[in-house]
Amino acid sequence: MEIKILGSGCQKCIKLAEATEQAAKELGIEINLEKVTDIEKIMSYSVMSTPALVVDGVVKIKGRVPSKDEIKKILS
């Protein structure tokens, strides 16, 4: 699964990345996680509030850090 975390390196982006990695690990899913910090690239996803979670090119969460369980639901 291709996962992208969008955000300009704020505290919450780091938290979202950690939570996503955790969730994937617990589900036993292989993911390829990339952090996107470039503002122009973030914009190309039509996202206005960071952090955002993008799974296989689709924006799933934006502007908040979801709980691990919520991420698990999105990933599975």
Per CB under 8 A, residues contacting other proteins are 8-12, 39-40, 42-44, 46-50, 59, 62-65, 67
Distance CA 59, CA 6 (A): 10
The residue behind tokens 């910090």 is 37
Place of tokens 């960071």: 50
Nearer to other proteins, 5 or 42 (CB): 42
Catalytic site residue 3?
no
Separation of alpha carbons 59 and 76, rounded Å = 15
The catalytic residue among 13, 23, 52, 65 is 13
CB of 30 to other proteins, least distance (A): 27
